[in-house]
Structure 1
Amino acid sequence: MSGAVCGPASLVNSMMDLHQGALMLLGPTMNAKVAFELSERLPHLGIRMKEHSNRAMTYATKMKKLGFQVIYPGLEEHPQHDLLKSMANKDYGFGGLLCLDMETEEKANRLMNYLQNFTQFGFMAVSLGYYETLMSCSGSSTSSEMNPEEKALAGISPGLVRMSVGYIGTIEQKWGQFEKALSRMPDSGLFKN
């Protein structure tokens, strides 16, 4: 993980103040090995992000056709599709994160179990940044401390699966793994038609 402090020079300078500055007091200097590894990855970040977004759009479209409740800003029915389209760089798509609303935690966990353990489509994780596809059931993991009203306001159903789409293997290979997992699942009533 890394980041940058951006803002007016007065803000950045105040944060770098030797005696009172947050940057000086909190020690933001990155480990040299980590900094080197990040610098090695930056030259191809743009290529990776394009593929990340392309695959997310492909999967979102295919998942919707299968009857899943898909939440992805690249789909025209998303309430903020037009806003993002007006702001985004068209070459980089709509991002690599999508959500499937499986309605219940049990259905969400069953889907993720099959995707991870039967076909290796992706991995269950709470972090969503990796070259492999990562999935989490937000309501019972990263957002578990929110109360039901806060979850409802944020649009987090008990069965919301967040998915960070990876970019290894071919799209066809990975989609085949997704379909194979679905074919092995005993409950055909998982999807809304």
Structure 2
Amino acid sequence: IETSFLDITDLDAVENAIRPNTKLIYCESVSNPLLEVADISALSRIAKKNKLLLAVDNTFSPLTITPAKLGADIVIHSLTKFINGTSDCVAGVVCGTTEFCLGLKDVNNGAGMLLGSTLDSLRASSILKNMRTLHIRMKKHSENAQFLAENFERDGIRIVYPGLSSHPGHLIMEDQMNPEYGYGGLITMDVGSLENANALMELMQERKLGYLAVSLGFYKTLFSAPGSSTSSEIPMEEQQEMGLGNGLIRFSIGLDDDIERTYELMKKCLLDLNILDIKNIKV
């Protein structure tokens, strides 16, 4: 299997990368960890024009985005994250046509059958139970993330969140999202250096604002520095080219009932570590 890696938001680059043996375009609805937004409808048009399949990983945006309605042929989710929501299992799902899914399970040559990717019934029933609250949880994750993103951007911290007008993919997100579920529960914050990032995450964990962990979609806020964790396999020069700085922290915002209190406590951590200057804070 040969793979061409490219910026999925550059539609010309996607089209130019298609070769005679290309079978599939694969992307994330919202990318990890930079939260770039894919134009799924446009990618679908490119795929159909070239007789390709479009596969979309929608882990970061369940309910917020419905890739199948935008033209995706295959939709993938990590059930471990938002869909399960309780960080107590590892699971995934591949969605497609009946023919495609039966092909995966074919006893002779189906990848799902041959590679053994079958979820046990206890875990499956637990995830199905937790899915009953997904619509409520996604609304709250998004509401809390929007509040923190707006306030920290106003304070002068560099924030990336699709719900901000400063986000390059904001209008694309607005065009393809289901508005009642908001812009998702993930934000990134750049605090300038890995030392600052580690100090901030440790202090926030100490003050019970969440957990230093690489997962997401939990009911508590989770934070990690992608450059030294989930994206550490990417060479440093490529990380810099992508804009994945050492000081970048990825936050999966939890279901806090009093998000204003959370904001004040997080801001106090930033002030105590001199990451945020009190003079920059706008009242």
What TM-score, normalized by structure 2, do the two folds share? 0.63
C-alpha distance 190-106 of structure 1, shift in aligned 2 (>3 A): farther
Which of 246, 256, 261 is 1:173 aligned to?
Answer: 261
The alpha-carbon deviation at position 191 of structure 1 amounts to 10
The alpha-carbon deviation at position 4 of structure 1 amounts to 2.9
Instruction: Kindly report structure 1 stretches of 4+ aligned residues shifted beyond 6 Å.
Output: 190-193
Q: Are the counterparts in 2 of residues 52 and 166 from structure 1 also a CA contact under 8 Å?
A: yes
Q: Take 2:160 and 2:194, find their aligned partners in 1: how far apart are those partners?
A: 17
5+ residue gaps, structure 2: 1-79, 81-90
The alpha-carbon deviation at position 15 of structure 1 amounts to 1.3
Q: Take 1:3 and 1:144, find their aligned partners in 2: how far apart are those partners?
A: 22
The alpha-carbon deviation at position 186 of structure 1 amounts to 5.0
C-alpha distance 96-36 of structure 1, shift in aligned 2 (>3 A): same
- For the residue of structure 2 that corresponds to 1:5, the secondary structure is strand
What are the equivalent positions in structure 2 for 1:53-132 lying under 5 Å apart? 53-117=142-206, 119-132=207-220
Deviates more, 1:10-19 or 1:134-143: 10-19
Residue 260 (structure 2) pairs with residue 137 (structure 1): no
Q: Take 2:173 and 2:99, find their aligned partners in 1: how far apart are those partners?
A: 31
Deviations 1:93-123 (A, max 9, x none): 1110000011210111111122111x21111
The alpha-carbon deviation at position 62 of structure 1 amounts to 0.8
Q: Take 2:169 and 2:202, find their aligned partners in 1: how far apart are those partners?
A: 31
Which of 100, 108, 123 is 1:11 aligned to?
Answer: 100
Residue 156 of structure 1 is matched in structure 2 by 244
Higher relative contact order (CA 8 A, sep 6+): 1
C-alpha distance 159-78 of structure 1, shift in aligned 2 (>3 A): same
- For the residue of structure 1 that corresponds to 2:149, the secondary structure is helix
Q: Are the counterparts in 1 of residues 196 and 275 from structure 2 also a CA contact under 8 Å?
A: no
Task: State the identity %.
Answer: 38
Corresponding pairs, count: 192
